[in-house]
Structure 1
Amino acid sequence: MNDIAPITDPSTPPTVALRLHPTDNVLVALRSLTAGAPLTEGLSAAEAINSGHKIAARPIAPGEPIVKYGQVIGAATAEIAPGALVHVHNLGMSDHQQDYGFATAATSLAPILDPATFMGYHRSSGRVGTRNYLGILTSVNCSGSVARFIAEAMARESLLEEFPNVDGIVPIVHGTGCGMSGRGEGFETLFRTLAGYGHHANFGGILLLGLGCEVMQIADLVDREALKDTARFRYMTIQQTGGTRATVERGSAILRELAAEANKATRAPAPASKLVLGMQCGGSDGYSGITANPALGVASDLLVRHGGTSILSETPEIYGAEHLLTRRAVDAPTGRKLIDLIDWWENYTARNDGEMDNNPSPGNKRGGLTTILEKSLGAVAKGGTAPLSGVYRYGEPIDQPGFVFMDSPGYDPCSVTGQVASGANLIAFTTGRGSVSGYQPVPSIKIASNLDLWQRMQPDMDVNCGEILEGTSLEAKGEEIFDLLLRVASGEKTKSEAQGFGAVEFVPWQIGAVM
């Protein structure tokens, strides 16, 4: 990534490389460098080095730990000279046994006595929505096309013009619901996900649509989850209704009734404690852990101080940094639940012929990241400094405020799907390489980690954290993010919403055999 012209003039005064912690033996290039370019501490670049990449701050012997953020991110696989690039050719994974120190560093944050408010949709459940959509939720992939046919029929009839308080119609389709066991981990995960969307506060009305013969039976969802508010929730199957055409006609009539009910909802003041923020990072780079992620961490802490909830996820992307979270757990059992998840993932990847260091992605590496240990240390910065108050399964309802963790893959759409199912009514998504996605029915703000990305993809980005490298404080940028979250929760559209994203990013986590 060449976001700033290479430094060639020895008299150039700006800082061009940064040591993040006094014990680090690498620096981070703040701009692209040519060989011989002067660095800090009397060093010069031994070769051309791209911005965001690591530079050896001193001689490093083969096998010696590489330290960044004051933490081990791997070990040298070859001798590394001062000023040389430290990356995939000379840095590999290493043992990373950690002292979990359960609950030894949990420090409560001072509550804000005059909490902020936003304008939201108050639901009978006590939760507050940030949007007011109609959803067509499918129990199985076999009903996905018909769900879209119903949405298309409503668009042709210009339904939303009649009901201005309804934000849109979201057909929620996926690729599973059958060809799976009717019990066990995979079934329960999908069940929680569908039930969570059925209850979500950002829906003013839901039509649950099945085929009729699938493993994920509509009757089970309705009976077990008590989705029986007929003013906001209806259900039907294609087989029982009489086929595709009859289902589209009946579904369209039902959706019109649901729209009339949803249109009665209006925004009203709500405390920030009703916000549930899902935090994600995707397309991360060498700056993500320095700018965007810690700035989001400041916003997360602010939300917690206002009595709200923030959710960190992507379990494979905290691997190697989990000890920073277990130390902040409110008690030892909460910290142990997190380590149980790490153990599950190690077993899960091993039995599927993978390994935890399959992550970072090629794009992450082009942006300066090398090992999962390095990526994870930057990723956990999204969680700020608040105590870890809970650990949840994928899609499990979040039932307490504060900073919490929800288990999920690192695959962004899948992870966000779980957070939404768990109750997130806002998403904050940091990125260094660039991400274009949205997550209806929940608005998502995009936070750029560097100036180059901001300049190249500004129509997709909501916040420029590249300004942190130009002197803006993390605290100021975190406050900016928090203020934007309040505005978006009150109805301001994000860049992804304005471009129409969110129709294809419902990706439930599929676990288990496909049969």
Structure 2
Amino acid sequence: MGTAESERCYVGIVTSVNCSASAAKLLAREAELSGLLEKYPGVDGIVPIVHGAGCCIGTDDDAFRKLQRAIWGYATHPNFASVLMLGLGCEANQIRLMLEAYGRPLDESFHYYTLQSGGGTRKSIEKGLLWLETALEKANKAEREPTDASHLTVALQCGGSDGYSGITANPALGYAVDLLVKNGGTAALAETPEIYGAENLLTDRAASPKVGQKLVNLLEWWEDHAQKYGSEMNNNPTPGNKMGGLTTILEKSLGAVAKAGTTNLNGVYQYGERIIEKGLVFVDSPGYDPVSITGEVASGCNMICFTTGRGSCYGNKPVPSIKIASNSAMYKRMQDDMDINCGTFADGSETVAEAGQRIFNTMLETASGNKTRSEELDIGDAEFAPWQTYAQM
């Protein structure tokens, strides 16, 4: 059985509203400038999770619950050893509403206050620095230890796809997913509009009629959602996709579903809903990569495998992002951002199975501490992007 050590150890500052975003970033910066983090080599970093939402919205609909689930999913993510949740105080997305909805964590790893109760920006940062001393000391005591691959929950993603994606990188990732599932792990497919037209490849292997119907219900919601905004589900390929050789959503969807391998579909989840089944699952989200991955990470994914044909510079904290190139030309051009080249299959130097085994091995190596390209570049502080479907008032 494949084994991996426990993954990343960050301390997070998660904001409930955009109004506290600058204070969260200032707190992280002050901690860095003070050299505080240098005293705790066992901690991977301090991550401010900020966003542009949280107020002037209704609080009794599913759109608000999407936002809550995304924020709470990060606040309770296992790759955060400790979290400070920072609000302004008068926002619609009250911290107490999340505590009422999800229950406050019982241990001391979760702390919260608002800028209004803390006496403003400067005093709140001073208060946060005192909290960080304790949080970092505690996080630094965490010891990485070997565990099996069943503890991995991998977000599957493709972005900047091209005509090679569905032939090389996505099938290779699908092979790796089958290995992961065989070893007790979990893989989460997402981007609902990008399975449109190929959904039967998933419903035909749903673990139960209920699971299959949940996926169908998501697609029906998306058809209605697109129509409300004068758009169409079959108009998905981006200019970059088209320049790379994709012309229709069906071509794109057939390639996207290939990431999911061949095992049963065991669960279908709302955006940011906590994943509880093992094996292959599906998480509802748009096709926009940062928004989609935010939902997958909030649902509990602790690793990302991101295939691309045109090239991607995506990173994510607190979760490592493995980027997989579909063609060798782009891989060579963007080697500082790419982790794996699957253009080898098109070049004739490797089989899909061999490339898939390399991806699975990289998953285990990354879980065991090897840094991804995005981690080496320290990318991932700005990628928290909750899905916003509500009316802003």
TM-score norm. by structure 1 comes to: 0.75
Give the Cα separation in 1 of the matches to 2:105 and 2:165.
44
Q: Which residue of 2 aligns with 1:497?
A: 375
Q: Which residue of 2 aligns with 1:486?
A: 364
Give the Cα separation in 2 of the matches to 1:491 and 1:179.
41
Give the Cα separation in 1 of the matches to 2:264 and 2:280.
6
1:83-482 counterparts in 2 under 5 A? 115-120=1-6, 130-471=7-348, 472-482=350-360
Shift of 1:454: 0.9
Give the Cα separation in 1 of the matches to 2:234 and 2:249.
5
Shift of 1:117: 1.1
Give the Cα separation in 2 of the matches to 1:223 and 1:407.
24
Shift of 1:182: 1.1
Give the Cα separation in 2 of the matches to 1:146 and 1:371.
44
Shift of 1:223: 3.2
Shift of 1:231: 2.3
Q: Deviations over 1:114-149 (max 9, x none)?
A: x211111xxxxxxxxx10001000000000000001
Give the Cα separation in 1 of the matches to 2:369 and 2:36.
20
What 5-or-longer segments of structure 1 have no aligned partner? 1-114, 121-129
Shift of 1:230: 4.3
Shift of 1:358: 2.6
TM-score norm. by structure 2 comes to: 0.99
CA contact (8 A) 1:288 1:432 kept: yes
The sequence identity of aligned pairs, in percent, is 55
Give the Cα separation in 2 of the matches to 1:386 and 1:300.
9
Q: Which residue of 2 aligns with 1:103?
A: none
CA contact (8 A) 1:207 1:235 kept: yes
Give the Cα separation in 2 of the matches to 1:379 and 1:461.
19
CA contact (8 A) 1:278 1:424 kept: yes
Shift of 1:444: 0.3
Q: Deviations over 1:76-135 (max 9, x none)?
A: xxxxxxxxxxxxxxxxxxxxxxxxxxxxxxxxxxxxxxx211111xxxxxxxxx100010
Matched AA of 1:118: A
1:509 aligned onto 2:380: no
Give the Cα separation in 2 of the matches to 1:132 and 1:223.
27
Give the Cα separation in 2 of the matches to 1:223 and 1:486.
37
1:17-36 counterparts in 2 under 5 A? none
Shift of 1:159: 1.5
CA contact (8 A) 1:232 1:262 kept: no
CA contact (8 A) 1:137 1:171 kept: yes
Give the Cα separation in 2 of the matches to 1:135 and 1:475.
38
Q: Secondary structure at the match of 2:282?
A: strand
Shift of 1:357: 2.4
Q: Secondary structure at the match of 2:336?
A: helix
CA contact (8 A) 1:140 1:174 kept: yes
Matched AA of 1:512: Y
Give the Cα separation in 1 of the matches to 2:327 and 2:104.
44
Q: Which residue of 2 aligns with 1:20?
A: none
CA contact (8 A) 1:292 1:447 kept: yes
Shift of 1:189: 0.5
User: Whose helix fraction is larger, Structure 1's or Structure 2's?
Assistant: 2
Compute the RMSD of aligned alpha carbons: 0.8
Q: Secondary structure at the match of 2:330?
A: helix
Shift of 1:298: 0.4
Shift of 1:344: 0.3
Q: Deviations over 1:312-350 (max 9, x none)?
A: 000000000001100010111110100000000000000
Shift of 1:228: 3.0
Shift of 1:477: 0.5
Q: Which residue of 2 aligns with 1:65?
A: none
Give the Cα separation in 1 of the matches to 2:245 and 2:84.
45
Give the Cα separation in 2 of the matches to 1:416 and 1:467.
27
CA contact (8 A) 1:238 1:247 kept: yes
Q: Secondary structure at the match of 1:460?
A: coil
Matched AA of 1:155: E
Give the Cα separation in 1 of the matches to 2:361 and 2:260.
18
Shift of 1:206: 0.2
Q: Secondary structure at the match of 1:183?
A: coil
CA contact (8 A) 1:199 1:227 kept: no
Matched AA of 1:431: T
Kindly report structure 1 stretches of 4+ aligned residues shifted beyond 6 Å: none
Give the Cα separation in 2 of the matches to 1:318 and 1:224.
31
Give the Cα separation in 2 of the matches to 1:251 and 1:337.
43
CA contact (8 A) 1:334 1:389 kept: yes
